[in-house]
Structures are given as structure tokens and as C-alpha cells.
Amino acid sequence: MDEKKVMLSGIQPSGDLHLGNYLGAIRNWGARAEEFDCYYFMADMHTITVRQEPAALRRRTLEQLAQYIACGLDPEKNTLFIQSHVHQHAELGWVLNCYTMFGELSRMTQFKDKAAKHAENINGGLFTYPALMAADILLYQPDFVPVGDDQKQHVELTRDVAQRFNGIYGDVFKVPEPYIPKTGARIMSLNAPDTKMSKSIPEGCVFLMEKPEDIQRKFKRAITDSDTENCVRYDPASKPGVANLMAIYSAVTGKTYEAIEAEFAGMGYGKFKPAVGDAVVEALRPIREEATRIMADKAYLESVYRAGAEKASYVAEKTLRKVYKKIGFVAR
């Protein structure tokens, strides 16, 4: 049997991938492929909790796959698949809906945020989303789920659901740990440093495929702080804008906050902001070029997602069968 530990994560193709997705999640996925058995997917089923334009969803799902590969996820070493291609997600999702409590779902901050943003469409799926996410995870019996800080609450709920289920039926699910990076776990919007970077504020959000000049413009316009100090110093409480830029710079260059303070001593924000922009442009350049190349090869992408779905489905089916047996469904 395979002795490797298992890692799994997913991203919704509801918008183009951005620097928050990259630094908070994807960057921490690829490096571990030798050590772990890795499953990464496009969480398309999750996106329809909010209305999507069908053609755009289809395009973004494939672009996301090309970008995963361009970020270093070798399809030979990682199982890359589209969530809706593996029907076991929907099936286990239903089962886990029945083991997830109304009160637990009501406490999820992502639900509260999205319900406030989409007041005209607070559908059942938006509410029960974490049960599907628990299914996404538990089907593969992973040890670790590498995510940014904002998904920690969902992974913790997944642990609670797994423990509840195991408590009734014996050890069916492995109880996974969230795996959150030290720097980059919560990248904030460049023009609103009190809000996390997300596609909903495009001016404060840097997209992986964005042109270098647009990235530079966003960094030059980034909000620094209203203090008069004009000094690059890591102090998230009183200088959140500068701290965010330092976190980004540190994440893409590997430099410590102390080294960054020393590098920009006496220079002020006018020099610092374009330097962060340059570092990000250089970090993203090879990804953008490679993703553009891969995106043009539709046959290759298809071969990757087909093989990925086949492998994922095989693993997912084993868990689903065990679950159905435990809860008393008659085997087909």
C-alpha cells in the first residue's frame, strides 16, 4: 500500500486566480509532491452557490487548470481534476449534510459575508456549502489541507463532522489538519488593507495573468498608511498597508521583515512600493508565460483532467462505499 501522506485542496473558478490564492494556497501545494500524495481540484460545484455566467465558468475552470500546472503542479506527480467530474463529491456531500448542524453552518463567516453580499440569492447551497467542502476533503482521507487563513474555519468544521461521524460508526474518516503558511496566509487588498484581497475589489487585487504594467500601477497606487513616518517598518496594528506590502514582498522574495526594513531604511514608500511591484511581476512572469502556452493546448488539458478524474474517482469511491455500508444503504 501507498505509505505517503495525503494533501488535498481546491479553489473555486468563480474568478481569475489572484495573488492571495497563489501566496495563501497554491504556492504551498507544489513543493511537496515528492513527499505527499496530492489532490488538487477546480471547485466548480461550489461556484454555483452564486450565479455564474456558464461560458465564463467553463473558460475559467480550464484556465485555472492551466495556471495550476504553470504554478508548478506537475500532473504526473499531482492528481488534478474538476470537482463535478467526480460524482462522489455530490453523493458524500448529501450524506454529510445530514451530519452537519444548522447551528454550525450558521456560524460560518463565509456564509455571513456572502449572504450579505448576495442578499437577493441566499440559497440552500450557500448555506450548506461547508458540508460539500467536508465531502471534498474526507473522500480522499488527507492528512493536510493547505489553505489560506479564511478557509481555516471550514477545515475545522470538517474535522468536527469527521469526528462526529467516526464517533457513531467507527474510524471511517481520517481527521485532517489545516496547513496554513507562515507568510501569505492572509493577503489584504492593496487599496483597502482592512479587507482581504479578493476579485470583488479588482483595483486592490493582483491577478496571476495580469499585464506587468497593470500590476505595477496597482502597487504604485497601493494604500500605505496615514502616519507621517514614511518609513518601512513592520507594524501590522498601526501600519496595516505597509505590513501587507511587506508580507507580499517577503513571500515572493523569501526575505525576512528585518532584512526588508534594512533594505529600505531611509527610502520611504515612494521607493518601496514599486520595488514590491517589480518583485511580484518577476515572480508571476514565468507563470503567466507558461499558463498562456498550456492554455493553447486544449488536447493536453483534456488529457490531464480526464486522467485526474479517473484517479480521483477511484480513491473517492472507496471511501463512499465504506460510508454507504456504515450508514445502512443496500449495496448495489
In the region spanning residues 98 to 137, those forming contacts with ligand TYM, defined by CB under 6 A, are: 133, 136-137
Beta bridge partners of 82: 42
- Let me know if 318 is a catalytic residue: no
265-271's contacts with Cβ under 8 Å and 24+ in sequence apart are 265/232, 267/232, 268/230, 268/231, 268/232, 269/224, 269/230, 269/232, 269/242
Strands 144-146 and 177-179 come out as parallel
Q: Which stretch binds ligand TYM (CB under 6 A): 92-100, 140-148, 159-167, 272-280?
A: 140-148
Residue 122 CB contacts under 8 Å (≥ 6 apart), including other chains: 115
If binding is defined by CB under 6 A, does position 145 make contact with ligand TYM?
yes
The continuous run of DSSP H or E covering 36 comes out as strand 36-42
> Closest-CB residue for ligand TYM?
24
Q: What dihedral angle (degrees, nearest 10) is formed by the CA atoms of 325, 328, 330, 332?
A: -30
Q: Where are the beta strands (DSSP E) in 57-206?
A: 78-82, 144-146, 177-179, 188-189, 192-196
Residue appearing with cell numbers 515528492: 34
If binding is defined by CB under 6 A, does position 216 make contact with ligand TYM?
no
Q: Which stretch binds ligand TYM (CB under 6 A): 54-62, 112-120, 149-157, 288-296?
A: 149-157
Q: Are 158 and 81 in contact (CB under 8 A)?
A: no
If binding is defined by CB under 6 A, does position 313 make contact with ligand TYM?
no
Q: Which is nearer to ligand TYM, 95 or 197 (CB)?
A: 197
Catalytic residue among 114, 218, 239, 273: 114
Q: Are 8 and 145 in contact (CB under 8 A)?
A: yes
If binding is defined by CB under 6 A, does position 80 make contact with ligand TYM?
no
Nearest approach, Cβ of residue 231 and ligand TYM (Å):
25
Q: Which is nearer to ligand TYM, 46 or 288 (CB)?
A: 46
If binding is defined by CB under 6 A, does position 46 make contact with ligand TYM?
yes
If binding is defined by CB under 6 A, does position 9 make contact with ligand TYM?
yes
- Let me know if 196 is a catalytic residue: yes
Catalytic residue among 5, 77, 152, 199: 199
Q: Which is nearer to ligand TYM, 196 or 239 (CB)?
A: 196
How far, CA to CA in Å, does 119 sit from each of 75, 107, 113?
Answer: 39, 17, 10
- Let me know if 174 is a catalytic residue: no
| Site residues, ligand TYM (CB under 6 A) | 9-12, 20-21, 23-25, 43, 46, 133, 136-137, 145, 147-148, 150-151, 154, 185-187, 196-198
Active-site residue numbers? 114, 196, 199
